Structure 1
Amino acid sequence: MCGRFTLAATPDEVAAFLATLELDAFPPRYNIAPTQPILMAMAGPPREPGSNLPDRVALLVRWGLIPSWCKDPKALPLLINARSETAAEKNAFRAAMRHRRALIPATGFYEWKREGKSKQAYLIRPKGGGLMAFGALMETYADPGGAEIDTGAILTTAANDQIAAIHDRMPVVVRPADFARWLDCRTREPRDVADLLAPVEPGFFEAIAISDKVNKVANTGPDIQEPIGVAPPAPQPAGKPKAAARAAPADQLKLF
């Protein structure tokens, strides 16, 4: 799963990466947690002939998807992730997978490796730094009073051999060359973009051991990413069974 991530890039860098209009100013975010606002990019409305406007729009959504059919969000688990292997069939994600595919910009995410009774935190980021985009889904939920809220979830896939040494799942990473195809929900069905849901190749990421400061949502400074000198775990040999999935922390299964 992906339960925390970071976006430590300037608005101009993010806008250029996603090919959207200029973004409002926002500070670096080092410990983005469920239910907080997150930035997404989606395909915009069809452009007029000759227009030079970007064909993507950016919006802020609540991290934790609420299906449009949900009658009582308090009775629903917090859907921060969607398994890419089954999202097109699951009732909670099927409509979004067909009609509202999105991208979430990030500069890294956090994962925890179980070591006996303890857990070691890792910052997992593109090797050498820089931006990446998670495959994501967006859904607009209207409560009984008529108020609307945009919500979203990160798509996950099986970990590659490198990340499997830490956790058995990882976010889907969509490369810039595939942005347009992934976001095209007008002419491309889920089956037409299923190939983009594969794990990113080993070597794309680097894993950096960090302290347990990241465990607390209140810790939001860059110091939570400081290395602590623990060597990353060795990649699992191909074909070796991956570790059992880690249970989601209880506070991530509550909406409010």
Structure 2
Amino acid sequence: MCGRYAATKDPATLMAEFDAVDGTEGHAPSADYNVAPTKKVVSVVQRHPREADGTVLDEEPAVRSLRVMRWGLVPFWAKDPAIGSRMINTRAETATEKPAFRKALSRRRCLVPADGWFEWRAAEGGGKKAPKEPFFMTSGDGSSLAFAGIWETWRDPKAAADDPPLVTCSVLTTDAIGRLTEIHHRMPLVLPRQRWDAWLDPDRTEVDGLLAPPDLGFVDSLELRPVSTRVNNVRNNGPELVERAEPEPASLDGGLFEVPNPS
């Protein structure tokens, strides 16, 4: 977890919800009800302005903006960007200890807006090969959830100097709490609105206190909605994937059963 989520709001809606300006430059992905690793996603960052040569203007107020990134963190030192497919999630408990995540956690934090995320629960009484039941975790009132994330930029050493870098992100995860434990033992680090400012603060490099899970009341307010196994197929996409549905056999998913591995 988190290996699949839904993100359907346009930049104008996210700008209002997150009090941000649009920095997507017209490249924001369209509504996606089945966001999978390595896809382009919209994230929220807060940065101080820079001079044309890249010098950071620390004395200027930080600006919150929407940015387009690829889901799956590629560290700046990576030799191959393919590593990003294995780094879609970052465990909050060990992030400060891992070289791949430590610097980004200190200086490049972001929020990843989502309508909600998908998780799979093992069927009651079933064995290891029993089909899993998909659920959609959502606010239920239409407001976005905000996953705590980190981001990085990576430059291909063979690329031209003026080629744009690859910007990637990873979603932090933590132990599930409250009713979410009924579905899975892990969950994304979902931040309530009152924690957004601290998480995005570019001047805060110490992360003590930032990685705490949300309070139980916030988590238990989420709707845990059973949905169709059509979401198992990454090729399926549409509003029917997030609609409430009765459990159904995995054979009805359309032929490509791809439940993400837990992390």
CA offsets 1:137-168 (integer angstroms, 9 cap, x no match):
00111122145200000011110121111101
Q: 1:36 matched to which residue of 2?
A: 39
CA contact (8 A) 2:105 2:150 kept: yes
Query: Cα–Cα, structure 1 residues 27 and 71, in superposed 2: closer, same or farther, change >3 Å?
Result: closer
Matched residues in 2 for 1:88 and 1:140: separation? 19
Query: Is 1:173 the equivalent of 2:190?
Result: yes
CA contact (8 A) 1:3 1:110 kept: yes
Greater Cα shift, 125-134 or 197-206: 197-206
Matched residues in 1 for 2:203 and 2:14: separation? 25
CA contact (8 A) 1:158 1:199 kept: no
SS in 2 for 1:152: strand
CA contact (8 A) 1:21 1:54 kept: no
Q: 2:177 matched to which residue of 1?
A: 160
Show the 5 A alignment for 1:20-169. 20-22=20-22, 24=26, 27-45=30-48, 55-74=63-82, 78-115=86-123, 116=126, 117-146=130-159, 148-169=165-186
Matched residues in 1 for 2:215 and 2:150: separation? 17
Matched residues in 2 for 1:3 and 1:194: separation? 20
- What one-letter code is carried by the residue in structure 2 that aligns with 1:41? V
TM score, norm. by length of structure 2: 0.79
- What one-letter code is carried by the residue in structure 1 that aligns with 2:110? A
User: How many pairs are equivalent?
Assistant: 232
Query: Is 1:206 the equivalent of 2:223?
Result: yes
How far is 1:200 from its partner? 5.3
CA contact (8 A) 2:146 2:190 kept: yes
Q: Which ranges in structure 1 are unaligned for 5 or more consecutive residues? A: 231-246
Aligned-pair Cα RMSD in Å = 2.7
Query: Cα–Cα, structure 1 residues 131 and 198, in superposed 2: closer, same or farther, change >3 Å?
Result: closer
Query: Cα–Cα, structure 1 residues 57 and 119, in superposed 2: closer, same or farther, change >3 Å?
Result: same
How far is 1:198 from its partner? 4.3
How far is 1:12 from its partner? 2.2
Matched residues in 2 for 1:77 and 1:15: separation? 28
SS in 1 for 2:96: coil
TM score, norm. by length of structure 1: 0.81
